[in-house]
Amino acid sequence: MPIKLKGEVNPDLNNERKKCSFNVEEMARWYHGGEKKLAEKRQRETLFLDDPDLQDDIPTSYMSHKEIYEYGVGKACKIFTKIRALQEEGKGGVDNFMAILGGMLGSGVLKEGNPMAVHFVMFLPTILGQGTTEQQVEWLGRAWSMNILGTYAQTELGHGTFIRGLETTATYDPKTEEFILNSPTITSYKWWPGGLGHTSNYAIVVAQLYTKGQCHGIHPFIVQLRDEETWAPIKGKSVEIGEIGPKLGMKGVNNGFLGFDNVRIPRKNMLMKNAKVLEDGTYIKAPSSVLTYGTMMFVRVVIIRDMANYLSKAVTIATRYSAVRRQSPIDPAKPEVQVIDHVTQQYKVFPNIAKVIIFQLTADYIWNLYNQVTSELDKGQLERLPELHAISCCLKAVITQDASNGVEQLRMACGGHGYMEASNLPNTYGMVTAACTYEGENTILLLQTARYLMKSWSQALVGDALVPTVEYLRDAIKKRSNKWDPSITGIIKALQLVAANKIRLAYEHVENRKKLGYSHEDATNLSSIELAQSADAHCRAFLVQSAYEMTRDLESTVSTSLATVLRQFIELYAVETCMKYIGDLFRFSGLTEDGVQELQQRLEDLLTKIRPNAVGFVDGFDIPDKILSSALGAYDGNVYERLFLEAKKSPLNQDPIPKAFELHMKPFMRSNL
Amino acid sequence: MPIKLKGEVNPDLNNERKKCSFNVEEMARWYHGGEKKLAEKRQRETLFLDDPDLQDDIPTSYMSHKEIYEYGVGKACKIFTKIRALQEEGKGGVDNFMAILGGMLGSGVLKEGNPMAVHFVMFLPTILGQGTTEQQVEWLGRAWSMNILGTYAQTELGHGTFIRGLETTATYDPKTEEFILNSPTITSYKWWPGGLGHTSNYAIVVAQLYTKGQCHGIHPFIVQLRDEETWAPIKGKSVEIGEIGPKLGMKGVNNGFLGFDNVRIPRKNMLMKNAKVLEDGTYIKAPSSVLTYGTMMFVRVVIIRDMANYLSKAVTIATRYSAVRRQSPIDPAKPEVQVIDHVTQQYKVFPNIAKVIIFQLTADYIWNLYNQVTSELDKGQLERLPELHAISCCLKAVITQDASNGVEQLRMACGGHGYMEASNLPNTYGMVTAACTYEGENTILLLQTARYLMKSWSQALVGDALVPTVEYLRDAIKKRSNKWDPSITGIIKALQLVAANKIRLAYEHVENRKKLGYSHEDATNLSSIELAQSADAHCRAFLVQSAYEMTRDLESTVSTSLATVLRQFIELYAVETCMKYIGDLFRFSGLTEDGVQELQQRLEDLLTKIRPNAVGFVDGFDIPDKILSSALGAYDGNVYERLFLEAKKSPLNQDPIPKAFELHMKPFMRSNL
């Protein structure tokens, strides 16, 4: 049977789209921030995705580790060449870079990640943020033009989230006015930086600064790694450099290792916008450590958006496939139904659609908050910085974990076919789960938020003023429980009560342990399960609340038909959150057995209401087929034809008789005849 | 720095092992079923793992899809040649096959799966179980000697767990006394069978049997796929055959597709031990459908053991790494501590150690039950068969899901390094998560158990006798709630009360919907979230109970010191189960706020008690380094050296300057100078 695409949309998907009660184009406009932004997005997608020079003949999943790298570098060079050319024509500037490096278009053109991404995401911004004007003049031009390629080398083989523990040393030698870089132990080798393996000739290296015999903690230095002409690693007293090997995902990123043996760099290569080392080795402290918060906050907002993006891909794939796939009749006397008609399937898929909306709204909310706080910063007001830091820590932890779990749940909701690379779900999981450990391991981040919450609780206890995100603690001190109120605002209050009580319990248990003679630190460690859970609860309440607040005026910006559906998803998220925290709600919010059964009924009703709009709604995420890269998720729903066409690309399918037959099987099968 | 292994055990691991309060060798004996079995296991491991012909120069994770296949076939041939030779020497027979095909030794010698496994696991057993004596005589000898290689082709592109929906047809032609096989649609193509792509020349094909114009449902047929001499696919009116492409895991299994265009096979190729087709096309029904249950039950027990095996690998890796890795001080004034000293880490790792024990005990329990039921079967007693089927469905679903989640949790507990293939955790996840969808998709299995539970509940309502696994429903009808009792037997009772009440609610909600006018089928679908959850709850109670019962006489078989630790893990499992079902326990078991806080305290106390024994305990799983295949998990704990040595194997690290520099980067970086 010669398999080919029929060029028609699967009739099941056509039917689904006819059922849709709102305007999909309006949804796309709303989701992408308005008509203009949507048009720009689409234009950019056409520009890159339809470029004949940027098409892939064979999926990376057929390639070896080395081939994936070579393909990735080649394609990255083509892409950046194109962006340069566009810039020269005056067509788009930074926007193109942002899109190509970001989770959506970027993941469409380079599914295994971009080996040059760290150059733009970390190398350039660090010089911009921490370099002096002279240093910016010296480095930025060449870096921006990509005449040099840089990476950001912080993490070490033995040291991750706890950066004070880094071991690489940069010792100032006033005689030559140089820093001498060393990797004193195996655990001090840099390990993980993207593009470090073979794709960078410079790095920002974060090292412990020693001058006049004293350690001043970690500082950033620009270090050359490879010759600009020959690309050979720096020789002599040298760097040892290579790539760290294959990973679960991000296989094209060329993560590398780096060790120093007395490598000398000029004094001016220390980034000195903040702290300084003078010619004679005198160390001058940075005026404030506040400045570095900005980049971290920005990166966290980007991560939250990325999570929404990846989850939107996975849920578009799973929703469409669930509408096409037929499996098991509901009534044994009738044919197999669309999988999406099984309520258990709806329960796997629809809450993940809701999460995409919630994460996007939260990203917007926190972005607004960030801008508000930085504008206050400019006026010298630092009050809200710790608050912003605390909420961003738990948001990063909770959202990356939920997105990661969501993508896997959706993959499994696609049954066996979800296990195939052709579904693009394994690849998507590889990208999204990485975020659970990078930029701060999630449990450590929750504990950072918890530390803030403990302080807030103690302030609440003595009646101090509280900042907005923890203001709810004040009420909780007065009134530990409540009458269950199932409205959205009631649910927000209930989740806040849960958070407050979990914060209180964690606080009390730390204090009790201190009374038993434990140090504050040991007491905190012994109570850390409850501490992490209190931060999680705080975050859950915040997520429902921020989504609710961001959509309060929804009806003034979108049609009633769209607003209705959006509100259904927000309600679904709130109800599903309750279902997951039934125990805590029972303990602290006055929830009763009747309340639980009402929630269950409401959950089921919402799934039924959402059912006819599900396909239309994910269509509204407006993700082109070339970004979805999924046989199961394409707009036309020709799932089986596409699976077949992907399999036909297999190098193993090019020969009817495998090489392994003559080589291995034939001799083996006959050796005992 | 020239990196090499020091040949010494990491001092942190040495300290851990000194702390151990029980005899690790005794634990290994207990875990592996006694001294004799342990010795045999070790002997077999030495035989295969230390064989110089079976060593891998380069990890499969560096290879391309095609290379992984060719490597896999080559190694499988070597391994089976060796087993044959051992057989001829009289050294081991079926045991070697079982071990090599199983999850433990098998995963050590062929990390990406064995492309010939289905030949032994499905092809041979099906002929044995469903072939007539004549058919066994004709096929078994050649198959057992591997002069032919077979697979089992059931699943189709459009049809998985619901096997009645299969579309492949086998139409009997009495004129020639042949069956004509056809794949009438794209969705009818066989898709997924292991080894089907290029590694088999025969298949058991499951097809809808048509004779005299009537369909008699699905039956198994032996079909030749490739020429025995040339390995060329059967020509003419032909088969279309190939492999389905890359997957999340099991990359060496060579899953294939297969389509038929009027392929004729002789009548005698239908496996006719049960149903028959006579020369003239007369169809004779099978006397009983009970016979096929046996294989399915056996496979499920194997899956449960596999899950315990994979989880034991992951948890050995994570426990040892947590003892070596140092990250974040507890007291900021002191150095970074072993990660295992962070209580949040203990909470990620130790409950997964407990799950290994619970799953093993449950596998033994269900294996005993299976043997009891089959011996009853032989006496014509079929009463317990549906019960066994029901409990095996939910156990398969719950245990594969928990093992899968456990492996991922452990991978993330190893931070960034867990993301590396060198940890062997991504590979382990790829193997373990596949079990969530194969051999029955998990949600469908839970709903099958739920159907049984609904019937049991209605029997309980009218006072009918109940079989042992649902006997608890009788009490629950009389008394819906209880006073909270935190002993293990109290916890089992509480979990049973939870299950009974969830079963009751699901039952009532189905009935209510029927009263509202829904058909039984629609009412069941609309209530299916609660139905699936009721099966889950039933299974949770069973898991704690079976582990408890299997260890009731523990002290009579092992020393007190070992029994103490084993009981701690079983208690930890019970308490952790409670913590995850707090809401349900509040609703149905009389749990109070004080009870929750006591459970939390008990959980934390158990973690503290287990802490000094953790490394020793996983040592007792007795998994050789070559099976762990993990830089993070090796017995000597030289984590960083091993990570480095793995990275050095990268083909990209063999050249200081990557090919991509001259080819792509250099022209690009200079094009705008």
Strand order in the sheet with A190-191: A190-191, A256-260, A239-243
Tell whether A438 lies on the interface with B, counting CB pairs under 8 A: yes
Backbone angles phi, psi at B665, to 5 degrees: -70, -45
Q: What is the pLDDT at residue B3?
A: 73
* 605-644 in chain A: CB under 8 A from chain B: 608, 640-641, 643-644
Q: Is A252 annotated as a binding residue?
A: no
Matching residue, tokens 């929830």: A591
pLDDT band at B98 (very low <50, low <70, confident <90, very high): confident
* Torsion A71-A75-A76-A81 (CA) sign: positive
DSSP for residue B123: I
- Name beta bridge partners: A276: A284
Q: How far apart are the first and last CA of chain A?
A: 37
Cα distance between residue B351 and residue B344, in whole Å: 12
Contact B259 A640 (CB under 8 A): no
Determine the Cα–Cα distance for residues B538 and B531; give it in Å rounded to an integer: 11
Which of the pair, A286 or B64, is modelled with greater confidence?
Answer: B64
Provide the chain A residues 379-418 that lie in CB contact (below 8 A) with chain B: 408, 411-412, 415-416, 418
Strands (E), A341-389: none
pLDDT in the model for residue A475: 87
pLDDT for the residue A482? 76
Q: What is the mean pLDDT of residues B571-583?
A: 97
All residues of chain A having their beta carbon less than 8 Å from the beta carbon of residue B412 are 433, 436-437, 442
Cα–Cα distance between B354 and A229 in angstroms, integer?
A: 57
The tokens describing B223, both together, are 């079909």
| pLDDT tens-digit map of A506-517 | 999 999 999 999
Q: Cα(B393)–Cα(B399) distance, rounded to whole angstroms?
A: 10
- Position A260 scores a pLDDT of 96
Residues A331, A276 contacting (CB under 8 angstroms): no
**Residue-wise pLDDT tens digits, B467-489:** 999 999 998 888 766 789 999 99
Tokens 């099991």: give the residue. Answer: B250
Check if A664 contacts B (Cβ < 8 Å).
yes
> Contact A523/A538 with Cβ under 8 angstroms?
no
DSSP B586-622: HHHS---HHHHHHHHHHHHHHHHHHGGGHHHHHHTT-
User: Looking at domain B120-287, which CATH architecture does it have?
Assistant: Beta Barrel (2.40)
Which chain A residue has the Cα nearest residue B71? A660
Residues in a beta bridge with B276: B284
B34/A contact by beta carbon, under 8 A: no
pLDDT at B103 over 80: no
Distance CA A577, CA A541 (A): 9
Average pLDDT of the segment spanning A600-610: 98
pLDDT at B238: 78
For residue B408, the chain A residues in CB contact (below 8 A) are: 408, 433
User: What's the gap in Å between the CA of A371 and the closest CA on chain B?
Assistant: 31
pLDDT of residue A477: 83
Q: Which of B247, B416, B505 sits opposite A438 (nearest CB)?
A: B416
- Residues with Cβ within 8 Å of A342's Cβ and at least 6 positions away in sequence, in order, are A327, A328, A330, B525, B528
- Output DSSP code: residue A336: P
Q: Which residue has 């962006």 as its token pair? A: A83
Q: Coil, helix or strand for A131?
A: coil
Task: Note whether A328 contacts B161, CB cutoff 8 Å.
Answer: yes
CB distance B641–A344 less than 8 Å? no
For residues A281-293, average pLDDT: 79
Question: For residue B171, what are its two tokens?
Answer: 């139409």
Residue B350 pLDDT > 80, yes or no? yes
| Residue type (1 letter), A474 | R
Residue A580 — pLDDT band, cuts 50, 70, 90?
very high
Alpha carbon of A343: minimum distance to chain B alpha carbons (Å): 6
CA of residue B494 relative to chain centroid, distance: 29
Dihedral angle sign, alpha carbons of residues B382, B386, B391, B394: positive
- Cα separation, B371 vs B51, in Å, equals 37
Beta bridge partners of A170: A181, A209
- Cβ pairs bridging A and B (under 8 Å): 407
**For domain B293-619, which architecture applies?**
Up-down Bundle (1.20)
How many angstroms separate the Cα of B379 from the Cα of each of B264, B288, B375? Answer: 41, 15, 7
Q: What is the pLDDT of residues B176-203, one digit of tens each?
A: 999 999 999 999 999 999 999 999 999 9
Q: In the 8-state DSSP scheme, what is residue B4?
A: -
Question: Is A3 within 8 Å of chain B by CB?
Answer: yes
* β-bridge partners, B150: B202
Query: Is it the case that residue A468 has pLDDT exceeding 70?
Result: yes
B81 is in an annotated binding site: no
Distance CA A665, CA A671 (A): 10
Q: Tell me: the pLDDT tens digits for B493-540?
A: 999 999 999 999 999 999 999 999 999 999 999 999 999 999 999 999
* Closest-CA residue to B275 (of B392, B135, B130, B387): B130
User: What's the rounded Cα separation, in Å, for the pair A99 and A105?
Assistant: 6
Average model confidence (pLDDT) for chain B? 94
Residue A236 has pLDDT above 80, yes or no: no
Q: What's the whole-number mean pLDDT along residues B583-601?
A: 96
Q: What is the mean pLDDT of residues A272-294?
A: 85
User: What is the number of alpha carbons within 13 Å of residue B649 lying toward its C-beta?
Assistant: 19
Query: For tokens 């057992």, what's the residue?
Result: B144
What is the C-alpha radius of gyration for chain A, rounded to an integer number of angstroms?
Answer: 27
Residues of B in contact with A646 (CB under 8 A): 245
pLDDT > 90: what percent of chain A? 85
Chain-chain contact of A529 with B70 (C-beta, under 8 angstroms)? no
Question: Which chain B residues in 193-212 lie under 8 Å from chain A, judged by CB atoms?
Answer: 197-199
B498 vs A: CB within 8 A:
no
Ramachandran region, residue B660 (left: φ > 0; alpha: ψ -120 to 50; beta: rest): alpha
pLDDT of residue A270: 98
Mean pLDDT of A228-240: 85
To the question of domain A294-619 being in CATH 1.20.140.10, the answer is yes
pLDDT score at B278: 97
CA-based nearest residue to A238, from A176, A182, A284: A182
Cα torsion angle, B162, B163, B169, B172, sign: negative
Flag whether pLDDT at A288 surpasses 90. Answer: no
What are the helix (H) ranges across B325-421? 343-378, 385-413
CA B239 distance to own-chain centroid: 32
Which one of A87, A664, A666 makes the best mutation probe of the B interface by having the most chain B beta carbons within 10 Å? A664
Residue A1 is predicted with a pLDDT of 59
pLDDT at A554 over 70: yes
What does A562-620 look like in DSSP terms, one character per residue? HHHHHHHHHHHHHHHHHHHTHHHHHHHS---HHHHHHHHHHHHHHHHHHGGGHHHHHHT
Interface of A with B in 511-550 (CB under 8 A): 519, 521-522, 524-530, 532
CATH top class, domain A149-287: mainly beta
Within 8 A of A77 by CB-CB distance, chain B residues are 664-665, 667-668
Query: What does residue B311 show for φ and ψ, rounded to 5 degrees?
Result: -65, -35
Q: Does A582 touch chain B (CB under 8 A)?
A: yes
Check: CB of residue B340 under 8 Å from CB of residue B323.
yes
Q: What is the pLDDT of residues B277-336, one digit of tens each?
A: 999 999 999 876 665 667 778 888 889 999 999 999 999 999 999 999 999 999 989 999
Return the SS3 of B353: helix
B-proximal residues of A, 106-135, CB under 8 Å: none
Grouping H, G, I as helix, E, B as strand and the rest as coil, residue A245 is: coil
Judged against a pLDDT cut of 80, whether residue A450 lies above it is answered with: yes
Q: Is A432 exposed, middle or buried (0-12, 13-18, 19+ CB in 10 A)?
A: buried
Q: What is the mean pLDDT of chain A?
A: 94
Name the CA dihedral angle for A173, A176, A181, A182, rounded to a multiple of 10 degrees: -70
- DSSP assignment of A34-82 equals SHHHHHHHHHHHHHHHS-GGG--SS-GGGS-HHHHHHHHHHHHHHHHHH
Report strand pairing: B202-211 vs B169-173: parallel
